[in-house]
A and B are shown apart, each in its own frame.
Chain A
């Protein structure tokens, strides 16, 4: 019996690197390489001598601290792991959610999780990492060190999956809690043998310098064109670079086309249907001007557009996006948030995704534990959250609560209906319409005594009702100064993670009469600050998002009123205005 609930638990950490590897055997078909035992590769791409037949797979490497003297099995009753005891420390900076882009100091995508792992270098026999170790004539222990050799043999380690397991002595690997990241860089080994791997969460792939949408087009005008021609030839291009029909941008003019054909091996001819489309003006253009494919979405669900950007432009594996869950969440709570837009310039995916999520009232984040990108609408809870209280959950001395006044909003200005997608998108004059919603009471001297304005420029929203919905929900959510709580819990309570909502009961959270109030808080970030022992949460007050209720029908249980009623149930009062238990029902004012 082992686990976080065992008194005297012994935490252990295991680092798991999924090293890029080849599944072939040196010199055996299909591998055509040849050589002596000492000339064989190490089944990695940098050492491969027959790259055409390289067959990508992964080799699982596990590392733990030197003080672990027990075997760890992959599963209960399963096989032992080959554990290299060179881990010195592993620490994380957590994913931080930024709901509604309310923290204006960071991207609406929040902060990326970072894993820092430090190893101590050491001699190594070559077992496991060198498939041909037994046949080599030299003693691997006497040549180089583990990490110096690994860095050379695996120089394309960037992007490899790396997992951190937090468990306890006696647990099998699959019984431990794990979090997943991708390797960003390796430093070392230093002269003292120190090696550091920095890894980030998968959403780091969307940062500006890594992914753009649309992709920059290679095609250039073959020759000068005037402002009226309807046949445009791009050289240095393939038809695969452009959609079957759509829009291209040349200079500051956009034009729609009904077809394109590959006229020579590197020229594409477009049949133009409209010059100067989308609010731009038809102009002359010169040879070698770029013929840029325009990214276009028409009446797409907002979350589907985000998925498209992440998968097709940021290179994120579809397996990491539970699109069925996204669809359920979006179609249930954001049915009206559809997108129609054109993006003519290569733009950082990070910018596009941040705009969509902020303006469509949902947020996404990398869930390190579930190992997938979660998506959630800004909405109330529909199931009763677990209770954290100061009696049995919150670690002594760890609770802190503070106001976050910079996140308060008293006015929302939403500019939508782009006039010209090529012009500056942060100028009000480039939008057809603006909708303003203000809570002037909140700005009065009796309340906050100053405005706090959120100005949104939306290339995505085209429907006025959606804008009104966005403005209303944003103002309702952030009308009052938000609060943020930081607290720690023992590992026994670590099951809740980023994105979850919990109820808090603490002596510092009270009403005007001094009575405790239990309120809903969303976990913005979660960090195992002492692995296997203490988890720290940062939470924001989600009480204003409310509870999503369903009316109870005739076949459901009657209202009892003793706390056992269905959490999200709503009951009708009778004609006498009373519930079935005699309590007064709500009145309509």
Chain B
């Protein structure tokens, strides 16, 4: 599924075009909210999606199921990202909602039937509310590792030629065995990861100084979500850097800078 837009989404004034990447990272998502789930099945953890690890998950014991994050105060939110989920396999419908009155009147910003287990980057027009949640209906109970709400970093430039989408860049080891007399005995596949890089050129130094330092500091400690070209491709990755990216560097006499980072993402889902 990857990128999901609010029905009737209209690019807010002043936003970067949707040719440009959207990034959700620990510097722009909300943490420390109060978590509440409708139910939690045995072996799962209600508050696990509020952390970045993917091996600790929340799974409801019944549907419909809600997972709510009370942010503590009304904050402007324009994304919800989800990773490590099985909503595609479980045939679920996902609703991302805010409490419009504080009294439990929930309004959809996203309402979509999920068809695969890829990471999800929901993009909607900014809304300022205190309570946000996901509501899961239809199908069978899924599991979800990470759910984040926040206001996305919008890159100033698009990513141009030469980029290899991570989801197509599988790092897989395959081996076959054959017998002494040449018969083919079997084949083994070792799932590893998705790998690649993101590079931007001609970013203004103003943009870089306002945003990239925060990004670098955030991804030093936590994974991040990226939708690298949301207008055209649904690709969303939940990835992390293999080492600190080189600092942005000036490219010449014009006040422009380049920035890139090498990343890996969880293997295919």
Q: Does B51 contact A (CB under 8 A)?
A: yes
The answer to whether A71 touches B143, judged by C-beta atoms less than 8 angstroms apart, is yes
Interface string of A330-347 (1 = CB under 8 A from B): 000000000000000000
Q: Does B91 contact A (CB under 8 A)?
A: no
Query: Besides A71-B86, A492-B186, 12 other CB < 8 A contacts?
Result: A80-B44, A125-B56, A127-B48, A390-B180, A390-B181, A391-B181, A392-B185, A393-B179, A395-B178, A396-B182, A533-B188, A534-B177
Q: Does B209 contact A (CB under 8 A)?
A: no
Nearest Cβ in chain B — how far from A400, in angstroms? 12
Query: Closest residue to A532 on the B side, CB-wise?
Result: B188
Secondary structure type dominating chain A contacts: loop
Contacts of A1 in B (CB 8 A): none
Nearest Cβ in chain B — how far from A11, in angstroms? 6
Q: Does A115 contact B (CB under 8 A)?
A: no
Listed stretches A2-10, A34-42, A286-294; interface member = A2-10
Nearest Cβ in chain A — how far from B227, in angstroms? 20
Q: How far is the CA of A2 from the CA of B48 in the complex (A)?
A: 29
Listed stretches A82-90, A95-103, A104-112, A563-571; interface member = A82-90
Contact of A80 with B269 at beta-carbon distance under 8 Å, contacts A492-B185, A533-B175 already known: no
Query: Closest residue to A391 on the B side, CB-wise?
Result: B181
Q: Does B106 contact A (CB under 8 A)?
A: no
Contacts of A8 in B (CB 8 A): 187-189
Secondary structure type dominating chain B contacts: loop
Q: How far is the CA of A534 from the CA of B44 in the complex (A)?
A: 35
Q: How far is the CA of A79 from the CA of B56 in the complex (A)?
A: 14
Q: Which of A1-51 contact B (CB under 8 A)?
A: 4-5, 7-11
Contact of A9 with B186 at beta-carbon distance under 8 Å, contacts A396-B179, A533-B177 already known: yes
Contacts of B51 in A (CB 8 A): 125, 141
Residue of A9, A11, A127, A392 near B179 (CB, 8 A) is A392
Q: How far is the CA of A68 from the CA of B182 in the complex (A)?
A: 32
The answer to whether A507 touches B180, judged by C-beta atoms less than 8 angstroms apart, is yes
Q: Does A265 contact B (CB under 8 A)?
A: no
Contacts of B266 in A (CB 8 A): 69
Which interface class (under 10, 10 to 19, 20 to 34, 35 or more) fits A? 35 or more
The answer to whether B190 touches A10, judged by C-beta atoms less than 8 angstroms apart, is yes
Contacts of B269 in A (CB 8 A): 69
Q: How far is the CA of A9 from the CA of B186 in the complex (A)?
A: 9
Interface string of B119-161 (1 = CB under 8 A from A): 0000000000000000000000001000000000000000000
Contacts of A392 in B (CB 8 A): 179, 183, 185
Query: Closest residue to A9 on the B side, CB-wise?
Result: B188
Interface string of A511-551 (1 = CB under 8 A from B): 00000000000000000001011100000000000000000
Q: Does B249 contact A (CB under 8 A)?
A: no
Query: Can you list 17 residue pairs at the A/B interface with Cβ under 8 Å?
Result: A4-B186, A7-B186, A9-B187, A10-B191, A69-B191, A69-B268, A79-B43, A82-B55, A127-B48, A391-B183, A392-B183, A395-B179, A395-B180, A396-B179, A507-B180, A530-B175, A532-B188
Q: Does B259 contact A (CB under 8 A)?
A: no
Nearest Cβ in chain A — how far from B49, in angstroms? 12
Q: Does A394 contact B (CB under 8 A)?
A: yes
Q: Which of B53-70 contact A (CB under 8 A)?
A: 53-56, 59
The answer to whether A395 touches B177, judged by C-beta atoms less than 8 angstroms apart, is yes
Q: Does B192 contact A (CB under 8 A)?
A: yes
Query: Closest residue to A487 on the B side, CB-wise?
Result: B180
The answer to whether B45 touches A127, judged by C-beta atoms less than 8 angstroms apart, is yes
Nearest Cβ in chain A — how far from B48, in angstroms? 8
Q: Does B10 contact A (CB under 8 A)?
A: no
Interface string of A381-408 (1 = CB under 8 A from B): 0000000001111111111000000000
Residue of B86, B143, B181, B267 near A67 (CB, 8 A) is B267
Q: Does A490 contact B (CB under 8 A)?
A: yes
Shortest 7 CB-CB contacts between residues of A and residues of B: A390-B180, A490-B185, A533-B188, A490-B177, A391-B181, A490-B186, A80-B43
Contacts of B205 in A (CB 8 A): none
Nearest Cβ in chain A — how far from B37, in angstroms? 14
Contacts of A393 in B (CB 8 A): 179
Contacts of A4 in B (CB 8 A): 186
Query: Closest residue to B193 on the A side, CB-wise?
Result: A67
The answer to whether A69 touches B187, judged by C-beta atoms less than 8 angstroms apart, is no
The answer to whether A396 touches B191, judged by C-beta atoms less than 8 angstroms apart, is no
Q: Does A371 contact B (CB under 8 A)?
A: no
Q: Does B42 contact A (CB under 8 A)?
A: yes
Nearest Cβ in chain A — how far from B52, in angstroms? 10
The answer to whether B43 touches A82, judged by C-beta atoms less than 8 angstroms apart, is yes
The answer to whether A391 touches B177, judged by C-beta atoms less than 8 angstroms apart, is no
Q: How far is the CA of A396 from the CA of B185 in the complex (A)?
A: 10
